[in-house]
Structure 1
Amino acid sequence: MENIANNQLSEELQELYLENKEWSSELSFLEDESRFFEKLFDNVISSAIDAAHISKLKFVSAILIHLKNKRIEIKALVLEHQAFLTSLLAKPGKMIGLELLDKNTLIMDEVKALFKESKLAKKELYQLTEEVIDQQKKDHLLTQSSNT
């Protein structure tokens, strides 16, 4: 196992720890944002949806559920990694292997992939919302014109 020299360890660990804390913060924001979108989706969009948009509604719902599960999994991984880094920082002079950096890179890739998927999901949700709003406007205009 290749090891990082002791004089580099503290600096590397501190950098990894701070990066890990940033991921944790970003995941917490994503969690808040997802909770908002779920409420919007469940309470507003779902109740206003017409038959033409049911399949897209199911698709977006499945995406939101997938992202929630993936976010929970990644957040647990990040918190576990953060606790491990904290324990390493508490023991100065301890040697670490390069597998720690590999694990850190793997977690970073997972976080980036989650944010990319989340961005695509928001795009789908925004598009569905716009379609539902446009349909509501059309229905409202038709109702108004038939009443006059």
Structure 2
Amino acid sequence: MRLRPKSDYLQKASWVNLYVLTKYWESDIAFYKDEIRFLYGLIDRYFIWMTQDEHIEKVSALSAELNQLDKTFNSLSERMVKHRSRMVLLLENAFVQEEEVFRAEHEVLEDDFKRASVDFRILKRKLFEVTETVMDEEKLQHLLTR
């Protein structure tokens, strides 16, 4: 993901660049949503085998975070579709005042997307760490109770 230059890039970027950037974000969101589906499946697959309350609580909390991120990405996706539609309208009927508002909205959308992307990566790492720990400890617990 690109880092926004400190200059006035968003105020001067071409419509084509902003459109391509928005399409790139939409593609990333589609990928994140696929990963979220995978993570839900991972949680479901191993949750039924958990016996320790501590593990159940950790995974339940992470599942709730994943659910919230899923909603965030759904909202971002809807906002991006509307944003892209507005961009097309502005291209057809360019008004300076509307263009300024659009570019400000673009900046907010970019910030929200970056924040959600970082949150997702952190949550994914936590889920993998917890899953690995739970699998090892639950397997050991299962072997000890035989």
Fold conserved between structures, TM > 0.5: yes
- TM-score normalised by structure 1 residue count: 0.81
Correspondence for 1:130: 132
Q: Secondary structure at the match of 1:114?
A: helix
5+ residue gaps, structure 2, are 1-10
- TM-score normalised by structure 2 residue count: 0.82
Correspondence for 2:50: 49
Task: State percent identity of aligned pairs.
Answer: 27
Task: Check if 1:69 corresponds to 2:77.
Answer: no
Correspondence for 1:88: 90
Correspondence for 1:99: 101
2-side partners of 1:31 and 1:114: how far apart? Answer: 12
1-side partners of 2:78 and 2:130: how far apart? Answer: 31
Correspondence for 2:117: 115
Select the structure of larger CA radius of gyration: 1
Q: Secondary structure at the match of 1:83?
A: helix
> Which residue type is aligned with residue 53 of structure 1?
H
Correspondence for 2:60: 58
Correspondence for 2:4: none
Q: Secondary structure at the match of 1:112?
A: helix
1-side partners of 2:57 and 2:141: how far apart? Answer: 20
Task: Check if 1:139 corresponds to 2:141.
Answer: yes
Q: Secondary structure at the match of 2:95?
A: coil
List structure 1 segments (4+ residues) > 6 angstroms apart after TM superposition: none
> Which residue type is aligned with residue 50 of structure 2?
I
> Which residue type is aligned with residue 95 of structure 2?
M
| Maintained 8 Å contact 1:48/1:132 | no
User: RMSD in angstroms over aligned alpha carbons?
Assistant: 2.0
Per-residue CA deviations over 1:111-136 (Å, capped at 9, x if unaligned) read: 00001110111122111101111113
**How many pairs were matched up?**
133
